[in-house]
Amino acid sequence: MNKKTCIGCGVELQDQNMLQEGYTTNLENDFCQRCFRIKNYGEYQVVAKSNEEYIEILKEVGKTKDLVLYIVDLANLPRDINDIKAYLGKNPVILVLNKRDVLPKSVKEEKILSYLKEQGALYEKMILVSCRNNYHIDELFQLIQKKQKSRNVYVIGHTNSGKSSLINLLMKNYSENSSDLTISPLPSTTLNKISIELNDHVTLIDTPGLVDRGSLTNYIDQATLKKINAKKEIKPRTFQIRKNQCLIVDDLVRIDYVEGEKNSFTFYLSNSLKVKKMNALKQTKLTDLAKQTVEMKYYEDLVINGLGWLKVVSKGTIDVYVDKNVEVFTRKSMI
């Protein structure tokens, strides 16, 4: 029986069914056709993954005492920062806040860390890093060596947070071996557990990500996906806004300010997205999308899962029009 797996995503290779995961024209190949296409042509193919398998992987990790790196995307913090802990056991966990490069440079890291503590983050260590800029990767590697309980170090998190990117970078920086894990802006790029030996003391284990069903990334086409994925430092966009004005983000989201005093709204979104301010009473665009009414308190963020957030200074009532599957929630302002 062939048990060879794709070195990009971990799926078992097969040459029988083009429509199924792991297909390759030749079993001698290292990569499945999907990884080959992502790597060589930037062509993506979405694989719908159920979380059940991933939760099983997390529970298996929970039976060990091994060190876990929980990677989160700073531009897409989960609603509950402790969410994934429920599946783990007594593992030591380092919270790795990735994509520091997309947050405005002026944001103080201490502020983010104390914000997360205030939110009840239960991690013995937290660190902001950027795989793109190789930022704080030395510090992270030292932490790993200090905190590891055995040679195995699991890299877990939501899909698209940068788990495979981090492993490729750690390998490039500190190993004589190399890894060529597939990376893409699409959810569920990695499909299986993949163990990679960094040296005699450290084995990194990549895992598929937990899929967040409430994230916009599951409900848009590939061109839009590329657009909403912030690649550079986010430039905050501030609008002075009055009742009955609305903000429209591309063809994705409409935000109507329906009740409240004069207010200030600041968007934190990919710079590639266009935002237009309009008169809500004269504009019907996007009103066919599902509407959610949200009461904002002073200094809160309105988070549109997968897209970004809107910092709102004063209290007021907002109607959000967005795909019905997308989760919208408020939190104390992060920045």
Catalog residues that contact ligand GTP under the rule CB under 6 A. Answer: 98-99, 101-102, 130-132, 157, 159-165, 183-185, 187-190, 208-209, 229, 231
Q: Which is nearer to ligand GTP, 62 or 162 (CB)?
A: 162
Phi/psi of residue 147, each to 5°?
Answer: -95, -10
Quote the DSSP letter at residue 260: S
End-to-end CA distance of the chain: 54
Least distance from Mg ion to the Cβ atom of residue 74, Å: 17
| Residue of 80, 51, 97 whose CA lies nearest to 213 | 51
Least separation in angstroms between CB 188 and Mg ion: 8
Cβ contacts of 249 within 8 Å, gap of 6 or more: 255, 267, 269, 273, 274, 275, 307
The answer to whether the beta carbons of residues 217 and 272 sit under 8 Å apart is: no
Q: Considering CB distances under 5 to 8 angstroms, the limit depending on partner class, which of ligand GTP, Mg ion, none binds residue 217? A: none
Q: Which is nearer to ligand GTP, 230 or 286 (CB)?
A: 230
Binding partner of residue 132 among Mg ion, ligand GTP, none, CB cut-off 5 to 8 Å per kind? ligand GTP
Nearer to ligand GTP, 33 or 168 (CB): 168
Find which of ligand GTP, Mg ion, none residue 91 binds, CB within 5 to 8 Å per kind.
Answer: none
- Cβ 132 to ligand GTP shortest distance, Å: 4
Nearest distance from C-beta of residue 262 to ligand GTP, angstroms: 35
Residue 306's binding partner among ligand GTP, Mg ion, none (Cβ under 5 to 8 angstroms by kind) is none
Binding partner selected for residue 231 from Mg ion, ligand GTP, none, CB under the kind-specific 5 to 8 Å limit: ligand GTP
Residues near 57 by Cβ (< 8 Å), separated by ≥ 6?
193, 207, 208
Residue, CB closest to ligand GTP: 209
Task: Tell how strand 328-332 and strand 300-304 pair up.
Answer: antiparallel
| Closest distance of CB 163 from ligand GTP, Å | 4
Residues that bind Mg ion (CB under 5 A): 163-164, 189-190
The C-alpha atoms of residue 109 and residue 245 are separated, in whole angstroms, by: 34
**Which token pair is 72?**
């989160």
Tokens describing residue 276: 């237009």
